[in-house]
A and B are shown apart, each in its own frame.
Chain A
Amino acid sequence: MKETILFIALALFMLAIFLILYRVIVGPSMPDRAIALDTIGVNFISAIAIVSIVLSTTAYLEAILILGILAFIGTIAFSKYIERGDIIERKRDN
């Protein structure tokens, strides 16, 4: 019973990821794609949590933190690139 509910939740997360994938492919502007990729990363975090319950191991919980940090940094880099055309700003002299 518990396993069934967990598999249903996993299937719902996969359905959400496929729906968001539509926005990544079609999305009319670059910020659309960036926010959709960020949401896909967040959904992967939840899916990893459910998989670690199903396999009854706590080894995957480190991947949650790392994926969260990577999704955040990727979104920040995307937004800076979209806004300024440059990720790392160098100091100007004046």
Chain B
Amino acid sequence: MSGNEIIEWIGIFLILFGAIFSVISAIGLVRLPDVYTRTHAASKSSTLAVLLCLLGTFLYFWSHDGYVSVRLILGIIFVFITAPVSGHLICRAAYRTRVPLAEGSGVDELKPVLFGADEDVVLTDDIAVVTKDIVDNDKNEK
């Protein structure tokens, strides 16, 4: 068995491990209780699965055809950067639209900060008022 063939087999087994990780992340996505834990399953292990699979494909084409694919490296980097960002954004949107946490989630410290006692408080208006006060103070000092 030559060196190229060993690298080929390593690539194929990386693809197989990626597929197993993908099934595990899908089971987590089905079984976990609420959106936030599901985002954990979907963003972390699914990213690892696709990284292993694309890395295995890259190794296979590199050893089998002698073809170094820049697009695969770009795809790996792009997925590695964007998957956590999209998971975070979905979590943020879910919390701000008041999707409830699962039972037994513990202390929710963000809720009084974000929504306050009054449910209809809008944060951007508060910030606008504060900045307007600062601008008025500056004018008075001049």
Residues of A in contact with B (beta carbons under 8 Å apart): 2, 5-6, 8-10, 12-13, 15-17, 19-20, 22-23, 29-32, 34-36, 38-39, 42-43, 45-46, 49-50, 52-53, 58, 61-62, 64-65, 68-69, 71-72, 75-76, 78-80, 82-83, 94
Contact = CB atoms under 8 A, between A and B. Distances in A.
B27 interface: yes
B30 interface: yes
A38 B71 contact: no
Interface centre among B16, B20, B93 (most CB of A within 10 A): B93
Contacts of B35: 29, 31-32, 35
A82 B54 contact: no
B15 A35 contact: no
A78 to B, nearest CB: 7
A31 B93 contact: yes
B78 A69 contact: yes
Given A23-B30, A23-B38, A35-B39, A65 B53 contact: no
A43 B46 contact: yes
Secondary structure of the A contact surface, majority rule: helix
Given A19-B30, A61-B69, A65-B75, A12 B20 contact: yes
Contact of B79 (A6, A42, A58, A78): A42
B7 interface: no
Interface of B: 8-9, 12-13, 15-16, 18-20, 22-23, 25-27, 29-30, 35, 38-39, 42-43, 46-47, 49-50, 53-54, 56-57, 60-61, 65, 67, 69, 71-72, 74-75, 78-79, 82-83, 85-87, 89-94, 96-97, 99, 128
B82 to A, nearest CB: 4
Among all A-B residue pairs, the 3 with the closest Cβ atoms: A12-B19, A31-B94, A16-B26
B42 A65 contact: no
A35 B38 contact: yes
Contact of A15 (B23, B49, B85): B23
Contacts of B12: 2, 5-6
